[in-house]
Structure 1
Amino acid sequence: MTLIFHQKDTDIATIFKTSKTGFIQFAYSYLGNMEEAEDAVMDAFIQYWENKDKLDIQINNIKGYIFTILRNKCIDLLELRKYRLQKNEEMYRQMLGEIEINISSLRSCDPSELFSREINQIVNETIDTLPDRTREIFYKRYLEQKSYKSIAENFGISVKGVEFHISKCLNILRKKLKDYL
């Protein structure tokens, strides 16, 4: 197998050997990252190599053409960095806003008020599940502040019967509120 090299092929090999370091330094001066600079230079040479036969015009200055490709690659990389920084900044501002809201919410949060609401809800739900007579006796005692004797007379039961209903209700409430007491 015989390899045939055209003048362009030997020119590109010479340009690669003599100019690669300068191209890398140029790219590094803008990108600030040696690995990216080296990759950009290699990509520029590869892009020229892959498209050299497709170029419509005769390129007299191959080095200048590769330099133009490299410059455009550096611009693309810097634009990508800029885009990513903008997106990161947007995410940062959004996260910072959420954190500020959470801090504000926590500062205004009164745990005793939260527990008070929860306890009231548990008490109301528990009382609603009691038998009617027990619930009525409980209301008379704790909402209307009636005495045991008055409640007993009202319901036609003994004071011991009132004590039984109140005790039953308080035991159920203690079990339901054990985590809060």
Structure 2
Amino acid sequence: MSDSTSRNTSTSDAPRENASESSLEDDVLVQEAREGDEHSYKRLVNKYERALYYHILKMVKNKEQVEDLVQEAFVKAFDNLESYNTNYAFSTWLYRIATNHTIDYLRKKKLQTLSIDKPRKTKSGEMEMQLEDHSAQTDRSIIRKQRQNIVQDAIDELPAKYRKVIQLRHMEEKSYQEISEELGKPLGTVKAHIFRAREMLYKSLKDKRGQF
């Protein structure tokens, strides 16, 4: 289980007492979802998708990226549904997963933008860091390539309709609307296909985590 899923997802809150009707409804849907009921999955998504969108939007201002993060949070939640502690509200657990996943995304994005060549301020003025470790750069390049190959192999194994939307979204970086227009499919169908494709990829790549 990833850090963003397991970190503080079932502790620190007081156990539920006098649970609301909505929360009790979630209990039923979660149990049915655990048993593989696709309709219950969809009902949980429909119930919380909009609220999670605005929750993440407070942290990430790119609306299309927010949609991706919402979908990814649901994928993580559903893939780890067996770890959900029913003594606590499902909504609280789901929000924690979404928050932690978004924090992880922001942290990785920040790391990607930091440059080791940026001048560092010292008492003597600015100093540039010169790191000429070519072997380390080569190793990183090899590891990156291996990861790309593993991900691409997983994408290639997807059914055609799911493989196509993932390629358009993540390889060609097209918007949901552009994908909808290119494929001639309703926007809702495109989003549903991308959600399902990510769910399948997440499960496939989780089994190969030791290769990353």
TM (norm. structure 1) is 0.41
TM score, norm. by length of structure 2: 0.36
